[in-house]
Structure 1
Amino acid sequence: MTDATLVLVLNSGSSSVKYQLIDMADGSRPAAGLVERIGEPSFPADHAAAIGLIGAELREKGLGLDSPRIAAIGHRVVHGGRYFSRPALITDRVLDEVRRLVPLAPLHNPANITGIEITRALRPDLPQVAVFDTAFHATIPESAARYAIDTELADEYAIRRYGFHGTSHQYVSRHTAELLGRSPESVNVIVLHLGNGASASAVAGGVCVETSMGLTPLEGLVMGTRSGDLDPAVLLHLQRVAGMSVEEVDVLLNRRSGLKGLCGDNDMREVTRRMAEGDQRATLAFDVYIHRLRKYVGAYTAVLGRVDAIAFTAGVGENSAAVRAAAMANLDALGVELDPALNAVRSAEARLVSTESSRIAVAVVPTDEELEIAEQTFAVIRRTDE
């Protein structure tokens, strides 16, 4: 087994590449950064150029892509379909399967594939691992995964609930259990990942049994620019009555909806600032956001039967005391008691914000998807070396 302990985590997006270099021996991060605006004038021409810049930045720290201290590269891959229910050591066959899943994630998987192809060409000797956003949700039962449409049609076109933000939900549910001083197998957690994209999950004993995002990341909670749950007939109505094309409807639901569609701002900080000034559109947007969130908390309480903790994470979940307070208000019947003083504290640490007498703990657990990807990557290569 190699003594190398560094894992390079790459998140290749359509116009950016984020990276972190994480030392699995001590959790330190010798390097991290973001190359963005790929393809624009005066910026990297393509992903190969972007990864070349990352390699140069790493070399400045004495840790180039050719460094023998790097044990593996872990790649975030958005969609693993039904084929991938766990991280996978990247081979030609694995890459072919990821390509086959492009129709399910046409905006994300191609960029993920590009990052993999470039780094494999640069370091063909180095183990590389794909960690899938969908994998943690592969355990949800068929009753939750199936949409009530024609079964043969659904199977032919792989239409079902897949869920996303899986690395975040897995990390946060596990660390919530640790915060409670219990094992993940003994804890039922509702995880609320609230960023510009937002999703909820119900995790029973460390296993995901339900999640809010579906075939795509559009379903579920109200988000920054995405609508979340919607009567599907709205799409037909807009096409028939408003004369909108499929592309126009797609842009509407993904980029011009959610908080932005309701009040013109997709940043929760701006929404709450406007609320404080008495802005009615911002207030309505906030209320719609909170109403949907509370519906999911109630629904997932029913799904789990017993809830030990509700965990808030991601940009909004970690930083907006107003969102947490509104979402948890008047849930006494469920056994939720938020401590206003604890909730108001800003901290980068995982913490409880509920009262000592609350039957359901309310936690704020900063997510760390890069560390989760690194840990899963390192675990895969250690198993391979054994």
Structure 2
Amino acid sequence: MNCSKILVINPGSTSTKIAVYQGCESVFLKTLRHSSEQLAQFENISAQFEFRKETILSELIQADIEIDDFDAIVGRGGLVKPIESGVYEVNEPLKADLRKGVLGEHASNLGGLIADDIAKTIPNARAFIADPVVVDELEDVARVTGHPDMPRRSVFHALNQKAVAKNYAKAIDRKYEDINVIVAHLGGGISVGAHRKGKVIDVNNALDGYGPFSPERAGTLPTGALIDMCFSGKHTYEEMRKLVNGKGGMVAHLGTNQAHEVEAKAVAGDEHNMLILTAMAYQIAKTIGGCATVLKGEVDGIVITGGIAHDKTVIAYIKAMVDWIAPMKVYPGEDEMKALADNALSVLSGEVTCKVYQ
């Protein structure tokens, strides 16, 4: 058994999750909260680098965790250039793009930078990122839209989708690279991907594009009505961006992004809450059906994951619509920390070859 010691770093907008793994076992897990007052002193996310790094190191010291014997530090991958799925060793081109935020600024951009900086202080330690949201394995035909200036982009929950797809493959005694599976990640954003023989050949843009609406995101909208709203003079550019991502979906319909609250009201008899909840489930199932056509009906399984996978009403609705396609397996919640640790461990054990970012 590989007993490598791994530090996992997952920066979010107002928190930083850290974990220590000894081989496959988690021995320490902590969410470090950052107040708005603490973050307000920084001009941008890049400027938070030293603050977040020192907060992590201080927490490890307080927990009596030896820092100088880590074999690897793995950080959440950020908005770098579109890349294939896999584990990437942090190098200079990767660090440059994480600093620039070539596809946007997000706290996850700090993951690889902090991992590299800590690893440099430890003899023989290696720094990695794995399966960032910009993983792009789309087939060319899936990129084409009705206008050449607006091609489809691959932005989705790559880390968790890949992890649960591999878990499903193991559960049916198959290799991920040998099966076709549809994975639906149901969280604040919703992504539904068609995985064919180890590659996500089609997936909706879960950040600001299209697909099912979610607790916070509007998903696919009627284009004409959206254009009219943009030029109505009633909304600023920033407000329209928020309408699509942040104040869309359940927030727009019901004033909340808490799916479990919506389900509780729906089950208690609130007809409008039930309508919105089942409409979301309807759109998820419809997208799963679309992925089944992409895979030409050759589907070995449908996997549902993410926080909303705990919602029995949503799961029952989806199952009733898609059960004819393939067996459906539910992995509620998500475990990004373990997924990151497992990816690092796969490289340290020699099971997987590390990829080079260029």
Shorter-chain TM band: 0.7 to 0.9
The change in CA–CA distance for 1:88 and 1:38 in structure 2 (over 3 A counts) is: farther
- Following the alignment from structure 2 to structure 1, what is the Cα–Cα distance between the partners of residues 120 and 32? 20
Q: CA deviation at 1:89?
A: 0.9
What does the per-residue CA deviation read over 1:320-366, in whole Å, with 9 as the maximum and x for residues that have no partner? Answer: 1211101121546x35xxxxxxxxxxxxxxxxxxxxxxxx2111124
Q: Which residue of 2 aligns with 1:34?
A: 31
- Whole-angstrom distance in 1 between the partners of 2:226 and 2:124: 49
Partner of 1:328: 319
Unpaired segments ≥5 residues, structure 1: 336-359
How far is 1:114 from its partner? 5.6
Q: 2:139 matched to which residue of 1?
A: 141
2: CA distance between counterparts of 1:298 and 1:72? 40
> Is 2:230 the partner of 1:263?
no
Q: How high is the TM-score relative to the length of structure 1? A: 0.79
Assess, with a 3 A threshold, how the Cα gap between structure 1 residues 185 and 128 changes in structure 2: closer, same or farther.
closer
2:45 alignment partner in structure 1: none
Q: Distance in 1 between matches of 2:312 and 2:341?
A: 30
How far apart, in 2, do the equivalents of 1:326 and 1:185 lie?
Answer: 29
Match of 1:192 in 2: 184
1:116-145: per-residue Cα shift (whole Å, max 9, x none)?
57536755963211223236x422201113
In the alignment of these two chains, the number of paired residues is: 344
Q: Which amino acid aligns with 2:34?
A: R
Match of 2:58 in 1: 56
Q: Is 2:260 the partner of 1:274?
A: no
RMSD: 2.9
TM-score (norm 2): 0.85
The alpha-carbon deviation at position 378 of structure 1 amounts to 3.1
User: Is 2:338 the counterpart of 1:371?
Assistant: yes
Aligned-partner Cα distance in 2 for 1:121–1:13: 23
What is the identity, as a one-letter code, of the residue corresponding to 1:299?
G
Whole-Å Cα distance in 2 between the matches of residues 321 and 225 of structure 1?
20
Query: Secondary structure of the equivalent of 2:82?
Result: coil
Whole-Å separation in 2 of the counterparts to 1:49 and 1:185: 40
Structure 1: distance between partners of 2:329 and 2:306: 12
The answer to whether the 8 Å contact 2:78/2:98 transfers is no
CA 1:193–1:85: 2 relative to 1, 3 Å: closer
Q: Are 2:16 and 2:52, in contact at CA under 8 Å, matched by a contact in 1?
A: yes
Q: 1:300 Cα deviation (Å)?
A: 1.0
Contact persistence 1:202–1:210 (CA under 8 A)? yes
Per-residue deviation at 1:286? 0.8
For 1:44 and 1:34, the matched residues in 2 are separated by: 21
Alpha-carbon distance in structure 2 between the residues aligned to 1:229 and 1:184: 30
**Partners of 2:329 and 2:167 in 1: how far apart?**
10
CA contact (8 A) 2:183 2:302 kept: yes
Counterparts of residues 129-278 of structure 1 (less than 5 Å) = 129-134=128-133, 137-150=135-148, 153=149, 160-213=152-205, 216-278=207-269
Residues 192-216 of structure 1: CA deviation (Å, up to 9, x unaligned): 11122221111122322211226x4
Cα deviation per residue 1:278-319 (whole Å; 9 max; x = unaligned)? 2233122112201211111111111112122111111111x1
Return the match for 2:328 from 362, 376, 384.
Answer: 362
In structure 2, stretches of 5+ residues that fail to align are 43-47
Rounded to whole Å, the distance in 2 between the matches of 1:330 and 1:373 is 33
Question: Which of 363-372 and 190-199 deviates more?
Answer: 363-372
Distance 1:97 1:43, change over 3 A: closer
CA contact (8 A) 2:305 2:330 kept: yes
For residues 228 and 270 of structure 1, the distance between their equivalents in structure 2, rounded to whole angstroms, comes to 21
- Displacement after TM superposition at 1:4 (Å): 6.9
Q: Is the 8 A contact 1:99 1:113 kept in 2?
A: no
> What residue in structure 2 maps to residue 356 of structure 1?
none
List per-residue Cα deviations over 1:57-78 (Å, max 9, x = no partner): 322443243x21x111111113
Return the alpha-carbon distance in structure 1 between the equivalents of residues 98 and 348 of structure 2: 19
Give the SS at the match of 1:29.
strand
For 1:49 and 1:108, locate their aligned partners in 2 and report how far apart those are by CA, in whole Å: 12
Structure 1 pair 241/205, CA: closer, same or farther in 2 (3 Å)?
same
